[in-house]
Structure 1
Amino acid sequence: MRIHRLFLSLLFVFGSVNLSQGQIKIVHLQPAIGRVNRPIPIEVRLENDGTMTDQVRVYYKSIKNASYKYIELQPAGQGYRGEIPPQPLSAEKVQYFIMVIPRIGGPVTYPEVNPFYEPLEIQIIPKETIHEEMPKKRPPVQKGEKKSSEKGVQPRRNAILPELDQSDYVILTPDPGSSIRAEDAFISVSILADSGIVDPSKTVVLLDGRKLQFKASEYLVTAVPPEITPGRHLIAVVFHDPKGRQFRPIRWRFTVEGPGKRGALSLRQSVRGNVFLSTRQERVSGRSLADNRIGGNLSLRKEAFQLGTRFNITSQEDRNFQARNRFLFWMRMPWVKFQFGDTSPAFTELILSGKRVRGVNAQVDLGIFHLNVAAGQTNRGIEGNAYIKILDPLTGDSLYINPVTGDTLTSKFIGENQVARYGTYAQNLWGLHLAVGKPAGFLWGLSLLKVKDNVHSIRRGIRPKDNLVLGTDLSLAVDRGRFRWQSEAAFSVLSEDISNGAISKTEIDSTFDTDLPFDPKKLEKWIILNASTIPIDPRRMTSLAAFSRVQLNYWGNFVHVEYKSIGSAYNSLGNSYLRRNLRGLFLSDRIRLFRNRVYLTLGYEDYFDNFRQLNKNPKIHIRSLRSGLNYYPGRRFPSLNLSVKRYGRNNQISTLDLTPGSVFDNREDNTTNEITFNASYKFKALNLEHRLNYNLIQMTKTDAFAASRPLSYFPIGITNRIHYFTFETNYHRPLKSIIRFATNRNSYQGGLSRYNFNTIEIRLEAAPQILSLFGYGGVRLYRANGLTRNLSGNALAKINFQKYQFELGGRIEPWKNHFFSLDSNWILFQDRGERYNLQTGGVLKNKSYQNYLFMFRYDYRF
């Protein structure tokens, strides 16, 4: 039976239990909330990463979407860091999971069990500060600034402009009165008003009186200024209602740091970028590991033309593994976007999404005609290993000795064709998406995707594949986007083994006693058809995937209704993480109350998993009830967020098969209850600014048949609770202190096993206004204890360890635009845990160890 994802997230919140040393464990603290239209930081630490990690990825999607996208985390300190892109308020929740791809062995995921189907969740909430106080009077006129209205905004003489309520928008960046670097200049305003009040498409964005190009969606207006000089600058954002009537401009000032001619906006040609060099030295469980990198990005902008590149080159690049180096060249103009290198093309949710393609991606926008073309390689060929050539992963010796039996592999398998590890075929992808219409109105599209393994790319491979997917999508937006309808359908053909090519019409007719109206050999250019092709009978529509969704935004309600059916035989190699054999309904409503100070979210899911009942397994009825309450009273009071979820799985089987000699229990009726609570409060005390944050995550999973299960059945009952406190203080000097404390109490396997965990962290950060200096230091203490038992109640392992982690690092800018940073960690792991051999009565004690990490990085920004 499946272990629920939250058990795993609680079990490894700050550390992992090392019951089998040498296996990579993912350590991750799940963010309780994410702010609307702001990136969500993700941090991952790895335990026992003695093989050097190839990639660390985060796959993410909105709860309303069917497919995942992914980002690659970058090394940072002792772990890896990255950001899930900003999400709109309509996303409600972001679902994600983490995948680590090591150099040796298969991928490791977090959660460990069913990560694609039962991922972690982050609730998306509005920005904490709902009201941004704006000056009652116009800011004082600066030198060179016109006294009249901003250029491009000419109200009628003596006109009294209506003013938006301060709860109808949120200034995201830059903060009013803030000081930023020129490369960080980015204007972003979130729209909280109903679409019947504000029409984002009619917005005017001005910087120092000059109009800027901007992007607008239903909930967000953004603009990237051209080259901007140091000094104070004035932003004005002018909203209009659907009839074109202007609101009073929203104005605020900010300062760009740095020397030079001040207080003016430059529209000259802009060149920006950065280059970095880094080295990472690490000692893990007695092994020394190194990773050296060079990377950066460069962008050139002149008026509407943009050109750039992004690259990351690592010393860990190895032809025996998938590519670790990354590079991308791109070009943009108002009507075309072109990328070459490691691209991430996206057509539609069902066909192509979340796939890295090394090749080209071109998008052409000609008004009502839209074309998206992608072609390249998704996997490069990696040759398999014969036993005679296998190497010891630790010593590199060709004579590999099995540590358990003492046998040498080459003494038993000496044939050239005896395969120890099958390789990976080079896989090529090409496809296109053609659409007619406008995204803000009616849009109809057609998609074609072809993915095929190159059978000649390696010698020792198994089951090369060929995939063809056809699809169509339709969307309609009316009433200024307050009503949106989107539908998509796709049909796939997958041949799971094309090593012997296509079967002929003669072979099919003689084998299946039928008269096929066409010859499969003539279709080899498009798809290789043979006995491994699915679906075998397209008329059953098992390879059809479709969904239809409606979104309504009226009277403070954002309603989402969706029905989807993903066939059991549907396969798109352009979207490897789409949940198949699933059919059902999703409903949700996010209600804004009390001038957007209160948000109430209600959701209901009703699905059938395995609805085609493959392999005669029963279909599983999945029901989920969700509710959320978010309260934002303002700066003087704490903000509160509460989320409650009830999730049940039932396969409608209530009887136990008592056949003599084999008792088989396939009954499934379990219920999971989850509660997530977050409170955050900013306040002043002792003339200092403080922030207190508290998170509670609680989950219980119960089995309706627990009392009647056979003795050999592993119980699934789980009870978990975690408390997590953070207290931050900003001192008058550029000093900040952070204290974190967490407790974790777990009971799993129906109470047979337990795991308790405590951690405390103290961290200091200093940022004196000298040479952009930043420094930090901290200490973490982990303590864990627990016991794992078998079904008879006998102890299998005792958990008892302490882990001390010390970190020290910082950053300095000794010369303009030149940055040097250093991160160091030292870890002392004292393990008093034991593992028990019930057959021999032996006891194996876990080993203690000391690890260190040293990371140096140089950046040049221009």
Structure 2
Amino acid sequence: MKNYLILYFIFISTIFGNKIIHEKVQSVPYGISVPIKAFLNVSETNVHRFSLLYRPIGNIEFIEIPLIHMGNSMYLSEIPGDFLKRDVLEYYLLLEMSNQTQAYFPSFDAVNNPIRIHIESPDTGQINESTLSENIRDFDIEGITPDLVIISPKPGERVLRQDLYIALSYFSIKDVDPKRVKVFLDGKDVSGKAQIDSSYLSIPSIGITAGLHTVRVNISNIYGQKFNDFSWSFTVVPGDVIGFGTIKKQTSKIWANYTGGKVNKQNLDFGEINFNYNIDLDWLLMDVVYSKSSLENKNTQPKDRYYINFKNDFMKLKLGDSYPNVDEYGWNGKRVRGINFIFDKGPIYLNVINGKTNRAVQGDPDNNAMFISNIDSTLTDWTIGLSRNNYTFQQDVFASKVKFKFGKKAYWDINYIKVQDNIATVSRIVPNAIITLPDELVPEINSALILDDYFQSTGNLYSIRYDSLINNYSTIFNNVDTLFLPTKNWEGDKPQGNFILGSNVQFGFDDSRILIKSGFSLSLLNLNKWNNIQNISELDSLSYDVTNDAFFFEYINLDTSINISQYESYFNFSENGQPLIPFIFKNDTMTVTKFLNLSSLNRYSKLQLRYLGHRIELGKKRNGPDYYSILNPFIRTNYQENYFSDGVNLFQNKLLMYFKKSKITEGLYSEQVTPIDTKRNLFNISLYPGSGLPTFNFGFISSHRSNGLDKLNIISDTVEGTTSTTIITDTLDNRIDLLSNQFN
């Protein structure tokens, strides 16, 4: 029986998993708030925004509210009861990914074909003999769309004002009662003005202004039974204007949020004011968004958000804040403020980004923006060293990505990212900075001074403004002769630079049921631009390697013919590089194998198969130990992984099963003779029985981690020639973890 059950799970399923898993709400009580629950079949890190959009029947615009992440893969929101007082309410779900793609539920034309919730009458169930006939007459033919023919204007059509004629035919519907046919124009009942008979209706065009209009028709038969409402929209154009520059639709809204409370004894107290304006010019859509936060502070990175977005069928231009996805490794969602331009037409995709990912912060004058870093008291006349701290350089970014698409089955892209800290944006001096004296300097204060003229004191702590210190240090202290503030290499963060070059390729077969993907990303990191080198010979004589022999510490042969200045427009090399000796500096022949195993290169390749509802993936990825992206700093490095996984959704996405088997190797430097290998197996079952019912998640993980050594020989007292014969046998830790989560 168990064998048959396993075969059933593997082979019977014939559905593919959707990104959004949701059980439709069919009907709700009158005026009672209804929760909307959904599950996402994607990683939370890939979600930019997940929204619920709803409207009472007859309304043109949808109301958008966020779905809140409740844990694991579940998201929850609520439609207020005040909106559940008409016969029908419509809604759909919108998922916006960090890679700028979107998913809808329902998946097919959700905006025009949303889910419909039928709202029960407030007196449902109170049926007696006197009201029985009335209830029968009001019985709706639920779920049946009337067979209508739109004569004019067609859905989405743009029509001149003088040519406007609104007409609809329902000839094929039997037993229509003209007295029960209702017509609404932009939500207003115009049945009294319309010409209505048993097979046809028309609306006079007198008084209809230019702009977007929606007609909704409610049809009932002679038995009092109502069909689903039917609606369509069209645009009236004034005069002879038919195309460029006409406003098709515009909306705006302003709202405020406030959060207050206490979490772990920490007070929460912040608010936001938001403004959103949208305009549709038919050939171009424009969005203006501004969010003002009470947390905005010039001494931190910005909390305010704003952008202006222009887009049409082949172009997107965003000015302000955006969250680009250039590459999985190099840049995957970090905010940038500047220009983000995308051109996507036919086989060409181009993305160009120019802006700032960090703004310059000089530091809080009252919080160690400047401080005394060292005191040289070896001579009679002391020297005090000052330094800067708690600042942030402006981080300038330029990136571009070009993709060549070969139909819908294959593409190849190449991307380039350049990140540079702008040293000039942080001042060497903060005149009003408060500097606290270290304890060893307090006894050197001139006892003849009136302390309050120079210092702010709290107990034994003495603080002084920088401008007062620099102008009076020889008077304030007995033995201080020099006050020194360096122009570079401050104690705070060092200015950095980053260069990344990447490429990806994909091939699809059998309607993309078979996908082959591969790519790489190569990085160069400058950890301190203050220590840039101008000539490769500086690496030849670095530190105690004083011999100029074209070798780095007699180990790496350097190509001394390279002119470093030719790379200055892309990257600045320094004594603090990662890797310290890039491959282009080596006097060595670069082969494909050597390139693929560079210490600063990440690469991956995978095969995806989607058949019988299964999502099978075989892959290999290798993240070099020296790879680093300033814009994506949390990528795991210095490991490689080979893996196999399979996921399947059963019973209309109510049961999700996932299995993954992998081998992970940590420690990729060639000098590391005993890398750590981890063999890992993961099996997960998730059950989502339906709305209002508890959900279950069961996870099974086994992991075996080893460096290949099971015995350690400890050698001691080697000076006297004795060797210990102590042997330690490695102890393996075997355990099984069972985790179950249940929540409503």
TM-score tier (shorter) = 0.5 to 0.7
* The one of 317, 333, 336 aligned to 2:315: 336
Task: Kindly provide the amino acid, as one letter, of the partner of residue 564 in structure 2.
Answer: P
Partner residue in 1 for 2:516: 485
* Distance in 2, Cα, partners of 1:280 & 1:591: 40
* Distance in 2, Cα, partners of 1:227 & 1:622: 61
- Alpha carbons 1:649, 1:671 under 8 Å: kept: no
Shift of 1:492: 1.3
Shift of 1:368: 0.4
* Distance in 2, Cα, partners of 1:374 & 1:550: 31
Cα distance change, pair 297–385 in 1 and its aligned pair in 2 (3 A): closer
Partner residue in 2 for 1:610: 667
Shift of 1:311: 1.8
* Distance in 1, Cα, partners of 2:155 & 2:265: 65
The DSSP-based 3-state class of the residue aligned with 2:233 is coil
* Distance in 2, Cα, partners of 1:426 & 1:468: 17
* The one of 22, 29, 37 aligned to 2:20: 37
* The one of 476, 483, 502 aligned to 2:507: 476
* Distance in 1, Cα, partners of 2:319 & 2:735: 46
Partner residue in 2 for 1:436: 404
* The one of 447, 455, 480 aligned to 2:423: 455
Determine whether 1:651 maps to 2:714.
no
Instruction: Map Cα deviations across residues 220-259 of structure 1 (whole Å, 9 max, x no partner).
Output: xxxxxx978596799xxxxxxxxxxxxxxxxx9988xxxx
* Distance in 2, Cα, partners of 1:350 & 1:640: 33
- Alpha carbons 1:433, 1:447 under 8 Å: kept: yes
Cα distance change, pair 517–62 in 1 and its aligned pair in 2 (3 A): farther
Determine whether 1:577 maps to 2:650.
no
Task: Kindly provide the amino acid, as one letter, of the partner of residue 386 in structure 2.
Answer: N
* Distance in 2, Cα, partners of 1:390 & 1:633: 55
Partner residue in 2 for 1:564: 621
Partner residue in 2 for 1:446: 414
Instruction: Map Cα deviations across residues 137-182 of structure 1 (whole Å, 9 max, x no partner).
Output: 98252887589x9999xxxxxxxxxxxxxxxxxxxxxxxxxxxx99
Shift of 1:317: 1.2
- Alpha carbons 1:611, 1:620 under 8 Å: kept: no
The DSSP-based 3-state class of the residue aligned with 1:347 is strand
Determine whether 1:513 maps to 2:553.
no
Partner residue in 2 for 1:139: 144
- Alpha carbons 1:449, 1:469 under 8 Å: kept: yes
Partner residue in 2 for 1:531: 575
Cα distance change, pair 549–142 in 1 and its aligned pair in 2 (3 A): same
Task: Kindly provide the amino acid, as one letter, of the partner of residue 561 in structure 2.
Answer: P
Cα distance change, pair 38–595 in 1 and its aligned pair in 2 (3 A): closer
* Distance in 2, Cα, partners of 1:317 & 1:666: 58
Q: How many residues align?
A: 466
Task: Kindly provide the amino acid, as one letter, of the partner of residue 271 in structure 1.
Answer: Q
Cα distance change, pair 513–390 in 1 and its aligned pair in 2 (3 A): same
* Distance in 1, Cα, partners of 2:684 & 2:355: 43
Partner residue in 1 for 2:354: 375
- Alpha carbons 1:489, 1:546 under 8 Å: kept: yes
Cα distance change, pair 311–583 in 1 and its aligned pair in 2 (3 A): same
Cα distance change, pair 498–73 in 1 and its aligned pair in 2 (3 A): farther
- Alpha carbons 1:38, 1:85 under 8 Å: kept: no
* Distance in 1, Cα, partners of 2:639 & 2:619: 13
1:650-729 paired onto structure 2 within 5 Å: 650-655=706-711, 670=733, 673-676=736-739, 696-697=740-741, 724=742, 726=744
Task: Kindly provide the amino acid, as one letter, of the partner of residue 482 in structure 1.
Answer: R
* Distance in 2, Cα, partners of 1:418 & 1:653: 48
* The one of 479, 482, 496 aligned to 2:527: 496
Shift of 1:637: 9.2
* The one of 675, 682, 702 aligned to 1:619: 675
* Distance in 1, Cα, partners of 2:535 & 2:525: 17
Partner residue in 2 for 1:366: 345
RMSD: 5.2
Shift of 1:433: 0.6
Instruction: Map Cα deviations across residues 769-795 of structure 1 (whole Å, 9 max, x no partner).
Output: xxxxxxxxxxxxxxxxxxxxxxxxxxx
Cα distance change, pair 529–641 in 1 and its aligned pair in 2 (3 A): closer
- Alpha carbons 1:468, 1:494 under 8 Å: kept: yes
* Distance in 1, Cα, partners of 2:733 & 2:419: 39
Determine whether 1:321 maps to 2:321.
no
Higher helix share: 2
Of stretches 548-557 and 561-570 in structure 1, the one that deviates more from structure 2 is: 548-557
The DSSP-based 3-state class of the residue aligned with 1:521 is helix
Determine whether 1:293 maps to 2:257.
no
Higher strand share: 1
Shift of 1:417: 1.5
Partner residue in 2 for 1:417: 386
* Distance in 2, Cα, partners of 1:628 & 1:320: 45
The DSSP-based 3-state class of the residue aligned with 1:522 is helix
Instruction: Map Cα deviations across residues 623-680 of structure 1 (whole Å, 9 max, x no partner).
Output: 321223456778899876533222343333444676779x99997955664434xxxx
- Consecutive unaligned residues of structure 1, counting only runs of 5 or more, are 1-33, 41-59, 75-80, 87-92, 97-125, 153-180, 183-225, 235-251, 256-261, 393-397, 401-412, 677-695, 698-723, 727-862
Instruction: Map Cα deviations across residues 486-512 of structure 1 (whole Å, 9 max, x no partner).
Output: 111121111111113333244345555
Shift of 1:485: 1.3
Cα distance change, pair 437–399 in 1 and its aligned pair in 2 (3 A): closer
- Alpha carbons 2:602, 2:627 under 8 Å: kept: yes
The DSSP-based 3-state class of the residue aligned with 1:499 is helix
- Alpha carbons 1:69, 1:355 under 8 Å: kept: no
Shift of 1:426: 1.4
- Alpha carbons 2:21, 2:41 under 8 Å: kept: no
Shift of 1:361: 0.8
Instruction: Map Cα deviations across residues 428-481 of structure 1 (whole Å, 9 max, x no partner).
Output: 111111011147212111111111111222235432111111111111122111
Which structure has the larger Rg over C-alpha atoms?
2
1:764-779 paired onto structure 2 within 5 Å: none
- Alpha carbons 1:468, 1:527 under 8 Å: kept: yes
Shift of 1:566: 0.8
- Alpha carbons 2:539, 2:575 under 8 Å: kept: no
Cα distance change, pair 665–543 in 1 and its aligned pair in 2 (3 A): farther
- Consecutive unaligned residues of structure 2, counting only runs of 5 or more, are 1-16, 24-39, 52-64, 76-104, 107-114, 119-139, 158-185, 188-210, 220-225, 237-247, 373-381, 429-489, 543-547, 551-558, 584-589, 718-725
Shift of 1:358: 0.9
Shift of 1:71: 5.3
- Alpha carbons 1:427, 1:453 under 8 Å: kept: yes
Identity %, equivalent residues: 20
* Distance in 2, Cα, partners of 1:668 & 1:609: 20
Shift of 1:577: 2.2
Instruction: Map Cα deviations across residues 119-154 of structure 1 (whole Å, 9 max, x no partner).
Output: xxxxxxx99xxx99999998252887589x9999xx
Shift of 1:349: 0.8
* Distance in 2, Cα, partners of 1:542 & 1:429: 24
* Distance in 2, Cα, partners of 1:321 & 1:454: 17
Cα distance change, pair 339–666 in 1 and its aligned pair in 2 (3 A): farther
- Alpha carbons 1:231, 1:264 under 8 Å: kept: yes
